[in-house]
Amino acid sequence: KRHLISAADLTRDDAVLILDTAEEMARVADRPIKKLPTLRGRTVVNLFYEDSTRTRISFEAAAKRLSADVINFSAKGSSVSKGESLKDTALTLEAMGADAVVIRHPDSGAPHRLATSGWIGGSVLNAGDGTHEHPTQALLDAFTMRRRFTGSGGGSGSPGGGTGRDLSGRHITIVGDILHSRVARSNVHLLSTLGAEVTLVAPPTLVPVGVGSWPCEVTYDLDSVLAKSDAVMMLRVQRERMKDAFFPTEREYARRYGLDGERMSRMPAHALVMHPGPMNRGMEITAEVADSPRCTAVEQVTNGVSIRMAALYLLLGGSEPAVSPRPDTPR
């Protein structure tokens, strides 16, 4: 594959290859020098039309750890504010020799347009488009679950279910503003491809109309699914994408759909609390839960660098092995 646009495009083998490659990349972080020469001479452009903390910085860190040159483009402060189109911006990046463009855009479908337009010759990686998809977020979430469930680096046996390489037999619950969440859509597709059973929990007004065709269950009752969940992923309510009032008050939302210590205590002892960030503490998650050892939010950020290194390497890397063994590593 040349591009990474959608988690729905990934086969199980594609997804497992990315997760396994990310395991190799994670080992680089344990080395004194956290850098590989693999993408030396290549240029990665981060093209961000929407705000980001985690995704932009971790794509930058990933590209730099692979020795690529990185150009960061933010629509704010650029000629986009003078009316320049995506096409003319893309042609400008192409003229500067971009080998990969990592794009975040408020319009669903913008990365697909960029990948199929012929405006650029390099690879396109979707860093979140509108309410559509955020495939590297889903991959880093799956990577985090696989590591936690297998007790470290994946690939070995998996206590309590699954093969260790995928997430078969696991029950994953995703809670919150599903309607506006590209994270939820990418996770539903990827997790089901990896064999997990996914349940979405949301108020009726925050469930997308077409959800009946997604490979998952839907419920409005969070309390009914806590006890069977291996991981509970909390989502932020995306007020910036809402034009009208959406549901009861914030207080009512927190009461019915927020994860607090009492609800967390009803989850199985091994079950994870996940959050892609940014969090609204006190809304979908209490500080007590966010700061508990069961919450993987910070670990997800760390794992995001390994996943993005894997994605860049697999799309751009060529034939060199990603990670050469250390001299003291027996073969």
| Site residues for ligand CP per CB under 6 A | 52-55, 128, 137, 276-278
Find out whether the peptide bond into 278 is cis, omega within 30 degrees of 0.
Answer: yes
4 versus 225: smaller Cβ distance to ligand CP: 4
User: Annotated binding residue at 3?
Assistant: no
Q: How far, CA to CA in Å, does 285 sit from each of 100, 102, 253?
A: 36, 30, 11
Q: In 3D, which of 312, 328, 249, 270 has the Cα closest to residue 25?
A: 312
CB closer to ligand CP out of 65 and 275: 275
Was 238 annotated as part of a binding site?
A: no
Least Å distance, CB 242 to ligand CP, is: 17
Task: Confirm or deny that 148 is annotated as ligand binding.
Answer: no
Nearer to ligand CP, 170 or 275 (CB): 275
Is 134 labelled as part of a ligand binding site? yes
- Which residue lies nearer to ligand CP by CB, 137 or 193? 137
Residue nearest to ligand CP (CB): 55
55 is in an annotated binding site: yes
Cβ distance to ligand CP smaller for residue 128 or 317: 128
| Cβ atoms of residues 47 and 101 within 8 Å | yes
Residue 289 C-beta: closest distance to ligand CP, Å: 18
| CA separation for the pair 235, 225 (Å, rounded) | 16
List all residues 6 or more positions away from 126 whose beta carbon is below 8 Å from its beta carbon.
4, 5, 6, 103, 111, 133, 134, 135, 136
Q: How far apart are CA 126 and CA 16, in angstroms?
A: 19
User: And the tokens for 101?
Assistant: 């463009």
Q: Is 266 annotated as a binding residue?
A: no
Q: Residues marked as binding?
A: 54-55, 82, 104, 134, 137, 182, 236, 277-278
In the annotated binding site for carbamoyl phosphate, the residues are 54-55, 104, 134, 137, 277-278
Residue positions in the annotated binding site for L-aspartate? 82, 182, 236
